[in-house]
Amino acid sequence: MAKNISEKIDDLKNGVEWFYSDEFKLEEASEKYKDMTTLAKEIEKDLENLKNDIKVIEEDFSK
């Protein structure tokens, strides 16, 4: 099942926190950074889609 925006944001927060945790390993940092960048772009896309859906709904109700 696909994650919703809130779950993805939680994942992103946890990923960023990893960089400040005792679990941080320099060897893994590059890959983790790439994963977080991909996740951030996915969240941005989801939010843009949500914004577009809201605009469509607003147009329907304004008629």
Written as one string, the DSSP assignment of 23-42 is: T--HHHHHHHHHHHHHHHHH
* Residue 8: φ, ψ to 5°: -65, -40
Task: Report the predicted TM-score, pTM, of the whole model to 2 decimal places.
Answer: 0.81
pLDDT of residue 60: 74
Measured from the Cβ of residue 5, the count of other Cβ atoms closer than 10 Å reads: 13
What parts of the chain have a pLDDT lower than 50? none
2: left (phi over 0), alpha (psi -120 to 50) or beta: beta
Where are the domains positioned within the chain? 5-20+27-62
pLDDT of residue 25: 96
pLDDT of residue 61: 74
40 exposure class (CB count in 10 Å sphere: 0-12, 13-18, 19+):
middle
pLDDT of residue 36: 97
